Structure 1
């Protein structure tokens, strides 16, 4: 189940970590069946890392959003594939804005 916005899409922690490791370590995988058509779901995702990584990219995870320096925190300002910048155009209801007072106001 997706728990956050990672590398351009909503994804679970395990897929986020797998994708980050794959990109940072510049892993090159080979399909276990040599077909590049393995079924990847929550039950089969650990069987073929090649097909899992390709599915990550196919559904929208972007390698350019992985910080190669290992630097933590913050959000990127890369536009998403569907349009807009995360939290600004695609999900304006999730952006918090500060009012003239010191309290945060959530847009709805």
Structure 2
């Protein structure tokens, strides 16, 4: 009887140690994952900064080259904005005049894009 009680105590103690080791391991894994997440966020931020700087440099370079050949980039921006506004008005008018047709076209475009993306 004493051996049974002793075996139960040993088993309980072993289970308690195992549980403590599992909890400690889980805490270690959680800490490592948090550090990995922080590292990934820092790297993503650095990459975003690099890409932003590169895009700004490319835009400035293109603008300089266009100006060098006599293209007024400010005028191009104004014209593009004006055309976008006119296109937006045309689309709004079409939707107001023929809402079912506009809905059908939107559905058709959505199906086509979905078909292409599924391939």
TM-score (norm 1): 0.19
Identify, as 1 or 2, the structure richer in strand: 1
Identify, as 1 or 2, the structure richer in helix: 2
TM-score (norm 2): 0.18
